[in-house]
Structure 1
Amino acid sequence: MKNSLKNFYKNNFTYSGKEKLSKLTILFIILLNIFVFITIGLGIDFQIKVLNNPNTSFSSQCRNILNSKSLNDYNNYIFMSGTYNSKYQSIKNLEIDERCTTIIDTKLDAVKKEHNIKVLRQNERILNNKQNKINNELSYLRENYNTVLFEKMSAQKSDKSIIKDDISSENIKEKYNSYLEENEKLKKEKQNIRKEFTDSKSVKELNAFVNINKKQILDDYKTQSKSYALKKELITLIFLLPLFLLSFYIMKRYLKNEKYTLYVMFKNIVVVILIPIVISVLTLIYMLLPKVFLEKVLKFFYEIEVPFVVYYFAIAFFVFVFGYLIVKIQKRFRENQKKLEENSISNTESYNKSICFKCSNKVDYLNMSFCPCCKNELKVKCPNCNKETIKNLKHCYNCGNDLK
């Protein structure tokens, strides 16, 4: 398995040619990667947020109507306004469930045509303000009734009374009854407005349709929402896999034909597409894990009052996985470094640039025997002339003898 993966990587993701990319070419490849990544994100977003989405099929407006406490109260209709013109709104409208379309575009629209909700709420607000004023007056009269009686007993003149509006013992009852009558009129007026709205044909039809279909629609929404998380990741993979396979095929073809620039370009595209694929696969693995078993294990340790043991296992698992990866990466780095040290081309480049071939710091090959930074040996004795010469080069610079 390990060798198969190594061979797969070597055969598909390594190029033996010596062609180098210019900085401008690298810049345009990076820009292409960004463009491809953003476009893939928009494609996934469209697939999972517009199509196949229960929140699109059963819009928030539809659910607000179904979950409304009372469709007979026009004040609740303020929460049933249309959806905002968000991205893909015209397509979202085509995806709405037929029953929700009937509720919104037929039944609710009929209510809005028959009644001006805004005017009804304004009229009720005016009546409430009037009623509040009357209630304040009634409260004032009740609170000051004893004061009026006390002024009468003390024979105090009306111009010296502390009670406003010339209220006296003779007219206080009359005013009080007048306010009560006015208050009752306002109550009846409000009740008539509400009754007229409730008894209207459009409101009755909306109520009847909602009562018949409410349970089934909400059950369908709940069922679709449960499977949506899994469905979302599967749709993402279905969307990405054809792109991945096509890009991989083109990359492989350019590798075979030794067209390095185009190979690198499509190799980057393959990696960009792989990122969301890996995320979706890991998400699916997490979703399909036997959570019941894990829950039972955690419950077992909880019952013996040592639930922290589970976290010890989790820490040990992550230490093992990342430890394995770190050791492998470091081992490969050491192997590559050793190959680089033994490579005559890299040693010659290091000598020409006056840098240590091990740590790449500046050195003087003629006057230094060791690198002051990493203690790397820079010179060795030539077996032919016994004089010091540059280590790891093919020939002695004193006698020209082959050092290898």
Structure 2
Amino acid sequence: MSSLWEYLIIALALLVVIVGGAVVLLHGRGGRTKELPGRESTPQGTRPPGAGGGAGTDDDGGVATLPRPGPTTVEPEAPVEPTTLPEPEPTPTLERPEAAAGRLQRLRARLARSNTALGKGLLALLSRGELDEEAWEEVEDTLLTSDLGVEATTELVDSLRTQVKVEGTRDEATVRRWLRSDLLTLVDPSMDRSVAASRVGTRPAVVMVVGVNGTGKTTTVGKLARVLVAEDKDVVLGAADTFRAAAADQLETWGARVGVPTVRSDRDGADPASVAFDAVRTGIEVEADVVLIDTAGRLHTKVGLMDELGKVKRVVEKQSPIDEVLLVLDATTGQNGLRQAEVFSEVVGITGVVLTKLDGTAKGGIVVAIQRKLGVPVKLVGLGEGPDDLAPFDPEAFVDAIVG
């Protein structure tokens, strides 16, 4: 057995020698290993960055050590500014107009001051000890100066002369009572002074407001809207004054203050009849109680402009009757306003009168003259610049303000 192990050990030693010699022989040829086709050789000792025996290994077949990545620099995010929402526009506070019922009573003192010359002048004359013809002429002059008109003045003087002759008394209280009674008869409290402002069947009432330039027509429409809103009416405004650039803006401002919509054109100089037609159509659609149509001021002597006013009325009447045509007159114009009233009445058929600036004149007699000339009542009076200084005309309060 021992000899057998000796032979095996010798054989293994020879095998190791033979293999080692073969390896030395192979490396000794040319000094390099045979390269595989298609692969470039790389000089020993050099290696381009990233080269190796394969992805993830080194040249000796070991696991390659990848370079440690450098520290990553994270750019700080820019601070996000909070989104600022626009502040909502404050909801305008709607005004609650003063009730119209007591306005003329509240403004009676103002009216009385404006008519002091008429009332006190007459009382002073009539209370004289002797009323001769010269005194009666002074009474007539005072009445004519107040724009009462010749016919009404003659009637009033004749009535007073008769009462003085019959009664034979001239004390101030008695004369005041006579004067009040006769003036009230001339003003005629029996006339219907209501303004059409309630729905008629399935449509709104339609009110058209006309007048010459400078009478305060647009302002009057705005104030009238306040009167009606105070009576809980649903109102629509129509800005058919398309010639004056600021008229529609002015009317829209009046309406916005009390929550009333305004129908207007987007351009200046638009057809006023078209705007008026649209306003009435809107009033029908929203089931309003009344539509107020503001028209452009025009001189009664301008035939073309008056014809255009007639066209506005005709166009509106194609879809709805016009229930009211209010003529705005400046009380300070006196008798000159009568001719204006006549022409407007011929063209559009006046149904009522609004007297503005009545607080600025002692010519209260114009009320009687206008009513007699047109056969229509004074329905509203303007007694100041305030938004609620338009009042329904009250004949008794008016006469009381004159005679004191």
TM tier relative to shorter chain: under 0.3
TM-score by length of 2: 0.17
| Structure with a larger share of its residues in strand | 2
TM-score by length of 1: 0.17
